[in-house]
Amino acid sequence: MSEPQTGWTFLTSHARVLASIADNRNARIRDIAARCRLTERAVQKIIADLESDGYLSHTRRGRTNSYRIDPSKVLRHPAEAGLTVASLLSMLVRDESERQHDIEQARSKP
């Protein structure tokens, strides 16, 4: 696992996990944890939280899970009243995908 983040950040771990799943709905907990710089146990708890509140569900396929996000769910905090998961993810997933693309390009350069 990468070095953990110290200090405050703009996004919660729940938002990071949700964005990671949105980017790859068949991601393993191990991969989500590495990407979000969390422990696997923390990711498991976050997924359980998201499932219990209806933001996320999963289907077991063999040894892997396939996740489904409910994009119509409204964010929980009163300050984001009316904003949906889809609106949050539209910003996070696109930007994360672009960032990953830039990282991969930088690694491939000699």
- pTM value > 0.85: no
Q: What is the pLDDT of residues 16-30, one digit of tens each?
A: 999 999 999 999 999
Do 50 and 88 contact (CB within 8 A), yes or no? no
- Picking from 33, 98, 34, the residue whose alpha carbon sits closest to that of residue 106 is 98
In the predicted structure, residue 2 carries a pLDDT above the cut 60: no
In the predicted structure, residue 86 carries a pLDDT above the cut 70: yes
In the predicted structure, residue 98 carries a pLDDT above the cut 90: no
Q: What is the dihedral sign for C-alpha 98, 24, 44, 104?
A: negative
Asked if CATH classification 1.10.10.10 holds for the domain at 13-108, the reply, yes or no, is: yes
The ranges assigned to domains in the chain are: 13-108
